[in-house]
Amino acid sequence: MNFKYIISAIAIVFILGSCQPKPEDKAISAPVQTDEQAFAFFSEQFDDIKILRYQIPGFDQLSLKQKQYVYYLNQAGLSGRDIMYDQNYRHNLKIRRALEVVYVKYEGDRNTDDWKNFETYLKKIWFANGIHHHYANDKFVPKFSADYLKEIMKETRVKLEDSAFEVIFNQEDLKKVNLNASTGLIKGSAINFYGKDLTTEEVDAFYAQIEVDKNQPIEKGLNSQLVKENGEVIEKIWKSNGMYGAAIDKIIYWLNKAKEVTENDAQKKGLELLIEYYATGDLKIWDEYNIVWATSTDGDIDYINGFIEVYNDPKGYKGSYESVVQIKDFEMSKKMAALAENAQWFEDNSTLDPSHKKENVVGVSYKTVNVAGEAGDASPSTPIGINLPNNNWIREQHGSKSVSLGNIIHAYANAGSSGRLKEFAFDEEEIKTEEEYGQLADKLHTALHEVIGHASGKLNPGVGTPKETLKNYSSTLEEARADLVGLYYLPDNKLVEIGISPNADGIGKAAFDGYIRNGLLTQLIRLNLGDDIEEAHMRNRQLVAAWAFEKGAPDNVIEKVEKDGKTYFKINDYVKLRALFGELLKEIQRIKSEGDFESGKNLVETYGVKVDQVIHKEVLERNSQFKSAPYSGFINPVLSPKMDENDEIIDIEVIQPESFTDQMLQYAKDFTTLPDNN
């Protein structure tokens, strides 16, 4: 262990743990009212971010052993929190820790604009797990000067090395993830997955020479940093006694405790394999674990833990650290299981070329769950639906799990409305349809996207994995493909027949209206004027909407309307729009199945990247009237063990922290697991 780390880490933990906090900075505050009707879902808002809370329905009904299982899994997840910061950018941990100490120790005037801007900057770092925006990928621009930061650091006796200090204010490392190949996917990205002296060509060459089983390929590169040492390109594996070993050892410690209180043998076997994977870094063991995990569907508690999603890697290899602990929502899961039971029907009746359809959709399970804790890439900004594992051959041969995060969706729905619907919807009929069916349409689209969309289709024999064939466009195209599956089936009476949808026509119209409105207008509020779209999901939504608008133009399927000096997109023919969605779905599946890079690139670059600047300017002006922030994330409930005189857990209490700041400072105190430099 690095001596410098020993000094800095101990200093930060001591300061955060022992300094007398100001009234607004208490480490763990009195519980927030948890009664359903009185529950405060909204906590605060800063910059472009809303902070919300969520409840954990059903936790009190769990047995003590189940509560312990949830608690240990959650502790394991939080133990890897520092990993996500370091993955996102090499200076993140140094910057975050220095600013946290300043925040706690500063005794000067906390009412000045400079201090308030400093506080907002720190909150944005907490929210994004680093100094780049969690969605737009741009580096944050502080609204205080370098001189002010030097002043308050001097007053609090905090030091930050020159390069880490300077990058807060300079023009270096402006993009966390750069998907514009012309500017260099590796050199143009600040993400800490690759050495700064590596080129895209060197990364391609390194992974091209690694031979894998074509029938059961590992996710090569998933759990490593690629660097150049003494002129040789090597992998630094994320494992015990490897890179991130200190945090991984803490994860293993808590997983071992969880292993002793599992609900069944399959869960125990899964944890044993996950622990072995973390200990060795062996990606074959990761696959073995995922097979056990995907086929283990009994029990009320489940989890996600590992280096999983590759959206933050411009090359699509490296998995961001993520943890979600979840409890089954019994009522909703029973209802939504009908989707999984009919997965083969959806595959057989899709618009895909017959050669690209699966003859046997294996083991697709779908549940609505309630989140009990999140960390890493899933927190504070969380997904609302998850489908795993990501390895295609495991999905095809052993199946997958799809979940909808019910209490997260519930919290979003009950956190208040901004009024943007009335501003951007074309007329009262569109507003009425959205108000009546929109929330359910969103839930059903998420379900179809995850359980049917990601599970559908197959690759042609001999075609490589999408991250190899479609490269930096693979994530966007996969999300578009899954979205299109959902869009195509939302107006279908099959959903009514199996008891999921109350009204095929109403659900379909609400979903189509909302998707086109978002893809062509409202998602632009998340971008600065002049920016291209970088984030994969935003690219996917504009691609689908813009392609349908253009291809439907001869029949006026979607009409661009100017009304009272404002632009709207009005759907004139929902039946033809559905057919267009089906046509695009067929083409994107062909691109994936055949590994057609040029066609995939052409689709994304033509429809998903560039923004109409006139419309963008108008959208920003229209949106300026609303105070509600466009992005939301969550404070996690705290799971607090109650002990007896023998230090045995006798219960787990759920506590709602009073503020986002409380939680972040508590995390800094309890879950500092990595050195500043890794």
- What pLDDT score was predicted for residue 363? 61
Percent of the chain exceeding pLDDT 70 equals 94
pLDDT in tens, 164-180: 999 999 999 999 999 88
Give the mean model confidence (pLDDT) for residues 69-98: 98
Helical axes 146-155 vs 92-105, angle rounded to 10° = 60
pLDDT of residue 9: 35
Which of 664, 641, 665 is closest to 17 using CA atoms?
Answer: 665
Phi then psi dihedrals of residue 137, to 5 deg: 75, 0
DSSP string, 461-529: TT---HHHHTGGGHHHHHHHHHHHHHHHHTT-HHHHHTTS-S-HHHHHHHHHHHHHHHHHTGGGGGS-T
Q: Do 532 and 610 meet the contact criterion of CB atoms below 8 Å apart?
A: yes
Whole-number pLDDT of residue 446 = 87
Residue 270 has pLDDT above 60, yes or no: yes
- Say if residues 519 and 476 touch (Cβ distance below 8 Å): no
Distance from first CA to last CA of the chain, Å, rounded? 10
Neighbour count for residue 149 (Cβ, 10 Å): 22
Residue 416: pLDDT band (50, 70, 90) is low
SS3 category, 530: coil
Instruction: Return the pLDDT at 53.
Output: 97
DSSP state string for 504-520: HHHHHHHHHHHHHHHHH
Per-residue confidence (pLDDT) for residue 14, from 0 to 100: 33
Do 53 and 39 touch, CB atoms closer than 8 A? yes
Angle between helix axes 474-489 and 574-594 (nearest 10 degrees) is 140
Candidates 400, 406, 363, 362; CA nearest to 385 is 406
The average pLDDT across 308-323 equals 96
Report how far residue 58's alpha carbon sits from residue 56's, in angstroms, rounded to the nearest whole number: 6
Look at residue 13 and tell me whether its pLDDT is greater than 60. no
Closest among 65, 84, 67 to 125, alpha carbons compared: 84
Residue 127 has pLDDT above 70, yes or no: yes
The structure tokens 């200190």 sit at 246
CA 468 – CA 447 distance, rounded (Å): 28
> For position 4, what pLDDT does the model report?
28
DSSP H or E segment with residue 583: helix 574-594
Residue 169's DSSP bridge partners are none
**Tokens 């006694």, located at residue:** 241
DSSP annotation of 459 reads P
Q: Strands 232-237 and 224-229: what pairing?
A: antiparallel
pLDDT score of 18: 32
Type of residue at 518: N
Q: Is 647 left (phi over 0), alpha (psi -120 to 50) or beta?
A: left
Q: Are 98 and 154 in contact (CB under 8 A)?
A: no
Question: ∠616-619-621 over CA atoms, to 5°?
Answer: 110
Per-residue pLDDT, 22:
28
- Give the rounded percent of residues in the chain with a pLDDT score beyond 90: 81
Is it the case that residue 253 has pLDDT exceeding 70? yes
pLDDT digits (tens, 9 = 90+) for 486-510: 999 999 999 999 999 999 999 999 9
Phi/psi at 50 (5° precision):
-105, 140
Residue 23 clears pLDDT 70, i.e. is over it: no
Reduce the DSSP state of residue 606 to 3 states and report it: helix
**3-state DSSP helix/strand/coil percent for the chain, to nearest 5?**
50, 15, 35
Cα dihedral 132, 137, 143, 149 in deg (nearest 10): 20
- pLDDT tens-digit series, residues 38-58: 799 999 999 999 999 999 999
Sheet with 301-307: strands ordered across = 301-307, 321-328, 364-376, 400-405, 385-388
Which pTM was predicted? 0.78
37 pLDDT above the threshold of 90: no
pLDDT of 16 > 60? The answer is no
Predicted pLDDT at 413 = 80
The pLDDT value recorded for residue 418 is 59
> Measured over all CA atoms, what is the biggest interatomic distance in the chain, rounded to whole angstroms?
77
User: For the stretch 47-62, what's the b/e string if a residue is b when 16 or more beta carbons lie within 10 angstroms of its beta carbon?
Assistant: eebbbbbbbbbbbeeb
- Write out 80-99 in H/E/C secondary structure: CHHHHHHHHCCCHHHHHHHH
Summarised one tens digit per residue, pLDDT across range 651-678 is 999 999 989 999 999 999 999 999 999 9
Q: CB-based contacts of 414: which residues, under 8 Å, 6+ apart?
A: 41
Average pLDDT over residues 108-113: 97
Match 């990993």 to its residue by tokens. 83
pLDDT digits (tens, 9 = 90+) for 376-390: 999 999 998 898 999
CA angle 429, 430, 434 (to 5 degrees): 115
- Domain coordinates of the chain in residue numbers? 1-30+92-130+140-171+659-678, 181-237
Two tokens at 676?
A: 């500043």
638-643 and 631-635 as β-strands: parallel, antiparallel, unpaired?
unpaired
**Tokens coding 604:** 């994304």
Which among 310, 591, 308, 319 is positioned nearest to 470, based on CA atoms?
Answer: 591
Between CA 53 and CA 610 the distance in angstroms is 35
User: Can you name the residues that pair with 44 across neighbouring β-strands?
Assistant: 51
At residue 415, the pLDDT reads: 80
Residue 63 CB neighbours (<10 A): 11
Any idea which residue has 């940093």 for tokens?
Answer: 225
Q: Please state the separation of Cα 662 from the chain's center in Å.
A: 23
* DSSP label of 540: H
Tell me the residue type at 360.
N
Written as one string, the DSSP assignment of 276-292 is HHHHH--HHHHHHHHHH
Burial of 3 (0-12, 13-18, 19+ CB in 10 A): exposed
Instruction: Give the residue-averaged pLDDT of 139-146.
Output: 98
pLDDT (tens digit per residue) in 334-365: 767 888 889 999 999 999 999 999 998 876 77
Which residue has better confidence, 450 or 144? 144
176, 312 in Cβ contact below 8 A?
yes
- pLDDT value for 417: 57
- Which amino acid is it at 416? G
Q: What is the mean predicted confidence (pLDDT) over 324-330?
A: 91
